[in-house]
Structures are given as C-alpha cells and as structure tokens.
Amino acid sequence: MSLLPLTPSLRPFLEEYLPRPCSNRPFVTLTYAQSLDSRIAAKPGEQTKISHLETKTMTHYIRSKHDGIMVGIGTVLADDPKLNCRFEAEDGNISTPRPIILDPTGKWAYHKSQLRSVCDNNKGLAPFILIDETVTPRNEDVEVLDKQDGAFVRLPLLRNADKVGNWNIILKKLFQLGIKSIMVEGGASIINDLLVYSKIIDSLIITIGPVFLGKDGVEVSPSGHAGLIDVKWWQGIQDSVLCARLT
C-alpha cells in the first residue's frame, strides 16, 4: 500500500525534534503509537492498529531522517516488521535507515523473516542484530547477513544488571559503526526503560490514537517519574501527536 502524502504542517512541527549532530553518541528519538489508556497493543504478542494512515506517513518521514531504526525482540517476534522507509523525498530519493534489532539471547530466525525478503528485493538494508557476547547465532542467519552486508553485533548485554550501562554500551558501539541517529520504536519494555533515562533520549514523539484498548493491553508506563519539557501538540485527521523532551 502506498503512503498518503505527508500533511504539510507536520514538517515545521517536527523540525526541532529531528536529529542534530552529537559529539560522542547517536541522537536518539523515542517514538511510538499508543491508545488513550497508554497501551501499544491489545494483547501481548498481538499486532494492533492504533494510528491513522496520515501518521503512518509521518512515521516513515521520521524514519527518513535517521540512520537506524531500533526495535526489541518482542516487537520482531510479534509483528515480523519490514523496518524500511517508504517516504519519498522531493528529489525522488528514498532513505535507507539501518534496522537494529535488540535480541540478547538470539531468539530471532532472521533468514525466515519479512525483513530478509525486504533486503533481498533491495527495498532496505540488512539489520545489525545485537546479541550477547556468549550467544552463538544460527549458521543460516550468519550466511544470509554476510551476503546482505548486515551483521551480528556481540556485546556484554546479559552480565550487566545496570540497564543504563547497557544502553551506553549499545549506543557507543552503534556510533562506532556509523549510526549517528537512531529512531527507537519499541516494544514496551524498551519504551518503559528509556522513558526514565532522560540523558539517553533526545526527542520524544508519541502518536495517540482515539481508542481504548483495555486492561489486557500492553501498557507503556515507566517505573518512575518522567517529566517533559518543550512540549508541542499536533492534531491530525484522527490522531494527536505529542513532541517533547525528557527532563
């Protein structure tokens, strides 16, 4: 399905929250869609439509401004996402951000995924898959990634109980790999962790759909207080979009 045209008012609205150069780590944008009751899915592992096609175009526009798109293993197993960018710039170019999958224990069979097909068809880049240094990836996945110029990135993810320390390790390594800006899209555990790490998140962009998903839904709620500054709102055909920075 082709994207709707980007609503013109979104460009100036988003501008100040898009990546700018950082000296020693990637610029990190945390963005996701949620219901009015702060759910990102109706049930664990269930793909749930929340946002309008208008803000789907916005998501691809934001992707076009980043070097990488990060999701966790839960999102990958539930949605089998393509993680590419389909927004066409005015000059006709389509950006190719690098998919980044946080999969510490090596659960994902990449060679069977939609993303593998996207890369085979030259519609996007092969991923960087972040695994713990003790994990041995599947031979099939290693072979496919080698051919597609993707990679398994081994890091000490499981031995460190300090989540902030883990994120600093991840961001430092990705910066070394040429990823200067990252759009983090989920899932819930990653979102909830990052919402309380104000020094890691540079911009927050939340799409809010006019729906309640109920008490069985997958909730986004940080473990502690998370204040916002530089808050701006945008109202679309159906959805509202919040842009802000964490204090």
Residue/partner pairs of 117-123 with CB below 8 Å, 24 or more apart: 118/82, 118/83, 118/84, 119/148, 119/150, 120/148, 123/82, 123/84
The CA radius of gyration of the chain, in Å to the nearest whole number, is 17
191 is in an annotated binding site: yes
CB 158 within 8 A of CB 132: yes
User: Is the Cα dihedral 58, 60, 65, 69 positive or negative?
Assistant: positive
244 is in an annotated binding site: no
CB 19 within 8 A of CB 27: yes
Q: How many residues does the chain have?
A: 247
Residue 185 dihedral angles phi and psi, to the nearest 5°? -110, 0
187 is in an annotated binding site: yes
68 is in an annotated binding site: no
Cβ burial, residue 137 (10 Å; 0-12/13-18/19+):
middle
150 is in an annotated binding site: no
Cβ burial, residue 198 (10 Å; 0-12/13-18/19+):
middle
Please report, in range form, the residues annotated as the binding site for NADP(+).
Answer: 75, 79, 165, 187-191
Please report, in range form, the residues annotated as the binding site.
Answer: 75, 79, 165, 187-191
